[in-house]
Structure 1
Amino acid sequence: MACWAILPAAAAQGQEVRAEQVRQSISSAVTWLKRDLTRAMEAGRENRAEWTYIAPDNWPGAEALAALALLNAGVATDDPVVVQALDRLAQTRDTVTYNISLKIAALAHADPVRYRDAIHTAAKKLARMQLNNGMWTYSSQDIRASVGGGDNSNTQFALYGLHEAARVGAPIEQNVWRRAAAHWERTQRPDGGWTYSPRHQQPAGYGSMTAAGVASLLICGESLNRSLEGPYTDGACARCGRYATNPRLAAGLKWLGRNFDARRNPNHHTYVYYWLYGVERVGMLSGLKQFGTHDWYREGAAYLVRAQRGDGSWNGSVVDTSFALLFLAKGRRPVLINKLLWADERQANLDRHDCENLTAFLGDRLGEPVAWQLIGLDADVEEWLGAPILYFQGHEFPPFTPSQRESIRKFVDNGGTLLAEACCSRPEFREGFERFAREVFPDEPLAPIDGGHPVWSVLFRVEPRAFPLMGIDVGCRTSVFYLPNDLSCLWEQVDLSHPLTEPALRLGGNIAAYATGRDALPDKLDTVKLLPQADDDETAAPPATAALRVAWLRHSGDWRTDSHALPRLAEYLRQNAGVDVVSQPAVLRADDPALLDHPIAYMTGHGAFRFTTTELDGLRRYLTRGGFLFADACCGREAFDRSFRKTAAELIPGRSLIELPTDHPLIRGEPGFDMRVVQYRDADVLPSENRRPPRLEAVTLEGRVCVVYSPEGFTCGLEDHACLKCRGLRTEDARKLVSNMVLYALSR
């Protein structure tokens, strides 16, 4: 395996590309490819005028490539075009390397159970077709006729097919991988690249074949290294992390970083789409977001969107269109896990294939196939937030600097989920993490996660006694998961004969499902914007303009359940209600004289709280002098609800909370939005009850509403984070309803 550094990304070549452009490009390509594949299959393999640019012997491979591209683009396996192509492939004779390899890949992607026999038979034949030098040539007939000594294009496709077969359970002898790896290492050019054939004595490699070499070494390394760690015993592997650095692989990756160009096949004048197909494979296999300073997917997608024809194809070619579609569709898989390279791989990436195997195990169980990637410690927090999970592991605990610890805290405060693991259950990591947790999360304790937590059942049922699991709750959700015992070695080896492997994969899947809230992941091309959060600095300076600044009341309970609730509300009010609101709220206690400078105040919480006598007096003075308070029991928590009702009764004697009728201007939206019917989060109600009037209660004083309270909760909706157990209003309705509260207060 290589050791590589994560470098800052350079500006993309050419114009920027948007996620919607890529989605439209994929849709157009799917339409064209289905139409072209249908015409070709109807014409038959003996009378195919449309595919004259493809050698007839390779027509089955072209069909397989097109079917594979369609499947990766999200076309269903029961789509008539795909069904016809797959059934034809299953009956295809296994004689041509390209055809066999792509046939295996398409069948394995579509239904490895249904096509098991065809996959295993084809893989067995393909392995037998390997030459003694570790390469493959075009066909079994060429082998019998002793024609040629193989080439790197056939060889990379053969290894791809065998890799896909092994992934779904086909047995492949280790010697196949050893011979292939030896070939690629032996034939690398002096500059670190590869060419089409070792018989060609070019001193310099070129793009498509260098990508083929790197992808092939990654595949061989994964298969050969899986058993290196040794048996998993008592929460550890004796040889964990003892991967030998592969200098050939490292040199190939450096070549890609130096020579990357999404617009042309480097050092070659043709086959740009074949080159980009190879780029996607290296990127997905390695987990690298960048080659050198190049964001390979962003730059490649920008080029492909511009190069696509109006009919949806690239060059009117089924092969070029399939390669381009594979790049766009596979490469844009949303990133589930950013694995943090906090040091070099010998310390920070002890289990090189743990995330790869976990995401493969998950498949599309989170709604669509997902990816993972390596990310640098000094990347921006916005880059970390490109995935819901930031994961790090080690035998020793990382020596994070104060600024790096601050970035990790900011990642969590912005809705990210931190996953840390003591690889091989090492006490050095455990001790370091416990210190880290106390210092970075001083107000949120690290505690064991009990058996009633959704993480034990959200996707799979996992016995809580199987693995110790600890967590830190930040606001409404568990935002930090800590594994004091090893799971990554089990993910790494994927030895399903070990009784703990499947539970370990299932627990990893549950952590992922909890972190995402089972919601759709952001598009790979989306950018993340950090918003200000509620600062507990009680001496914060007032805004420099006349804009509204909401006061966030600090009390004795968990007053800051969702730190971005008010900043996100402020953004919504500016964009949708024309109210100039300062993003940063003023955090104040109820007895602070500065409270009188803020016409609107807000409070929330989960648990019980109490105001002191002076705080009650201060809040009473604020309300009687025209102030307005909106509040909620976050997640509908009963402990906060009881405390708030007691407080409301003490605030203004004789003025208790009363339920607002649905025709009240605040609910009817005068001014604002008509909110007489709202939607609730799935955790709150049955689907049949999901639309109903909001339940709001109020305290009135001299004919005006001075306190509005939601016992059901709207704060989680304002925050809009992934949370399985959060209750209350959905995001859009929460923001509209609370906007009505603000508009009502300002208009009275």
Structure 2
Amino acid sequence: MTALVTSLAMAIAAPVPLDKKADAEFETKVAPARAKAIKFLKDSQQPDGSWDGVVIKSLVDMDGGTTSLAVLGLLEAGASTKDPAVVKAIDYLLALKPNKTYVVSLRTQVLARADAKKYAKEIQAGADWLLEKAIIRQGKLVGWSYPGNEIADNSNTHFAVMGMHAAAQAGAKVDAGIWRKIRDLYADTQHRDGGWVYHNAGGDGPSHSMTVAALLSLAVAVKYDKQAKEPDAAFEKGMAALLGDKLGKFGDGKSAACSWMTTAELGRALGATEFKSGKLTKAWYREGTEKLLKEQQPDGSWKPSELGIDKSYPVISTACGLYLIGRPVK
């Protein structure tokens, strides 16, 4: 238990322990795929430094979201913050005034990783915005919305948590009380089967993607809760559900690409290439990367077969795939 507490306290981008020999051999297969995906993203960048298409930019008012994802994918895969593509994208992001939870979170994460000191003002503004948009009822956190309504969902909530985490890691001030509220939120809304749903108001049953997001939020929140002496019981139950056979396969479903990224975030938060619960084990990195190697397109992109935005906008899928693959083994 003590070892797990320690691992939960690690930064989200901490390197994952590796079997150097085995992973060096695996890296010879991964390296070409990583290089092709990086090239695809760089070749897809628009003259203004963005990767935002018409649908994302205009129709759903999320200008900067896809660009931020692309940058995070590049950085996680080992690109330098001084890479011309990254520099140009950051200049584009700095000129924006995002008003959606996804974009504020992703932009904050990019700036925190690029230069925490240089962008301290913008990072703090991002953290403040996210805290201000938290939906609180009767003293309890309900979660985050797009916003534009008071209907929270666990996807927006996951992004809000990660944005505040990135800001806090970069030195921004984040109200300490929010982390306890986050832990309480997930403990109170856990499904009887151990997973989590998209809308806590009811309707759909628990899903793989929302359960990964919930576990990630719990893993991050416990890091900041000074009163926490051990992981939440909800975390243990949720991990058992995730590794069972009731929530679907890793990296499948209509939100496949986002699930790739969230799975990698959770694995790196725990500092492990495998998820474990009792006798259940899932080699998330090896299995996820092998799946990506098989499904990579000739142009270097990934295009999940399920309907949805992942299929119509391969930059998103490719950025998330790169995020899972991560940086080269040294």
Normalised to the residue count of structure 2, the TM-score between the two structures is: 0.81
Task: Identify the residue that residue 305 of structure 1 maps to in structure 2.
Answer: 293
**Separation in 2, partners of 1:156, 1:175:** 17
With over 3 angstroms needed to count, the CA separation of the structure-2 counterparts of 1:217 and 1:313, relative to structure 1, is: same
Offset of 1:114 from its aligned partner?
1.2
User: Shift of the alpha carbon at 1:162?
Assistant: 0.4
Task: Give the Cα–Cα distance (whole angstroms) in 1 for the partners of residues 106 and 179 of structure 2.
Answer: 18
Match of 1:222 in 2: 223
Listed as ranges, the gaps of 5+ residues in structure 1 are: 5-16, 229-241, 335-520, 522-748
What per-residue deviation string (whole Å, max 9, x for no partner) do you get for residues 693-722 of structure 1? xxxxxxxxxxxxxxxxxxxxxxxxxxxxxx
Determine which of 102, 105, 126 is the counterpart of 2:106: 102
Using the alignment, how far apart are the partners of 2:249 and 2:290 within structure 1? 9
Do structure 1's residue 158 and structure 2's residue 160 form an aligned pair?
yes
Deviation sequence 1:203-241 (CA, Å, 0-9, x none): x4211100000000111111113xx4xxxxxxxxxxxxx
Q: Is the 8 A contact 1:66 1:318 kept in 2?
A: yes
Q: What SS does structure 2 have at the residue aligned with 1:324?
A: helix
State whether residues 72 and 329 of structure 1, in contact with CA within 8 Å, keep that contact through their aligned partners in structure 2: yes
* CA drift at 1:56: 4.1
Q: Which residue pairs with 2:116 in the alignment?
A: 112
Q: Distance in 2 between matches of 1:69 and 1:103?
A: 13
Q: Post-superposition shift, 1:52?
A: 6.3
Deviation at 1:53, TM superposition (A): 9.7
The one of 303, 309, 317 aligned to 1:320: 317
Query: Residues 508-554 of structure 1: CA distance to partner in whole angstroms, max 9, x if unpaired?
Result: xxxxxxxxxxxxx4xxxxxxxxxxxxxxxxxxxxxxxxxxxxxxxxx
Report 1:196-207 matches (<5 A).
196-202=198-204, 204-207=205-208
> Retained in 2: the 8 A contact 1:123–1:162?
yes
Q: Which runs of 5+ in 2 are unaligned?
A: 5-24, 304-312
Q: How many residues are paired up?
A: 292
1:274-673 aligned at under 5 Å gives the runs 274-291=258-275, 292-315=280-303, 317-329=314-326, 334=329, 521=330
Aligned to 2:74: 70
Q: Distance in 1 between matches of 2:163 and 2:324?
A: 17
1:61 is aligned to 65
Shift of 1:245: 4.3
Answer 1 or 2: higher relative contact order, Cα 8 Å, separation at least 6. Answer: 2
- Deviation of 1:257 after TM superposition, in Å, equals 1.8
Pair 1:122 & 2:126 matched:
yes
1:31 is matched by which residue type in structure 2? K
In the alignment, structure 1 residue 254 sits paired with structure 2 residue 240? yes
Percent of paired sites with the same residue: 29
Q: Which SS does the other structure have where 1:197 is aligned?
A: coil
Larger radius of gyration: 1
Alignment partner, residue 179 of structure 1: 181
2:50·2:64 contact (CA, 8 Å) conserved in 1?
no
Q: CA deviation at 1:302?
A: 0.3
- Give a deviation string over 1:428-473, Cα, whole Å, max 9, x none: xxxxxxxxxxxxxxxxxxxxxxxxxxxxxxxxxxxxxxxxxxxxxx
Deviations 1:281-337 (A, max 9, x none): 11111123322322110000000111111101112511111111100015x6x5xxx
Is the 8 Å Cα contact of residues 130 and 176 (structure 1) preserved in structure 2? no
Q: Do 2:63 and 2:98's aligned partners in 1 also have CA atoms closer than 8 Å?
A: no
Separation (CA, whole Å) in 2 of partners of 1:168 and 1:251: 31
Preserved contact between residue 2 and residue 250 of structure 1 (Cα < 8 Å): no
SS of the aligned residue for 1:120 comes to helix
What is the CA distance between 1:264 and its match in structure 2?
4.3
Whether 1:272 aligns to 2:276 is no
Structure 2 counterparts to residues 634-713 of structure 1, below 5 A: none
Q: For residues 272 and 106 of structure 2, what CA distance do their matches in structure 1 show? A: 24
The CA RMSD measured in Å over matched residues stands at: 2.5
Specify whether residues 88 and 189 from structure 1 end up closer, same or farther in structure 2 by C-alpha distance, changes over 3 A only.
same
- 3-state DSSP of counterpart to 1:63: helix
Partner deviation per Cα, 1:560-593 (whole Å, 9 max, x = no partner): xxxxxxxxxxxxxxxxxxxxxxxxxxxxxxxxxx
What SS does the corresponding residue of 2:63 show, helix, strand or coil?
Answer: helix
Deviations 1:1-39 (A, max 9, x none): 8997xxxxxxxxxxxx93222111111111111121235
Q: Amino acid of the residue matched to residue 166 of structure 1?
A: A
Distance in 1, Cα, partners of 2:321 & 2:2: 27
Q: 1:54 and 1:22 mapped to 2: Cα distance?
A: 36
1:261: Cα distance to partner? 6.6
Q: Give the number of the structure whose residues are more often strand, by fraction.
A: 1
Instruction: Find the counterpart in structure 1 of residue 87 from structure 2.
Output: 83
Contact 1:28/1:312, CA 8 A, preserved across alignment: yes
Local SS of the residue matching 1:293: strand
Q: Is the contact made by 1:104 and 1:164 (CA closer than 8 Å) also made in structure 2?
A: yes
Residues 37 and 318 in structure 2, CA contact (< 8 A), matched pair in contact too: yes
Shift of residue 79, structure 1, vs aligned partner: 2.1
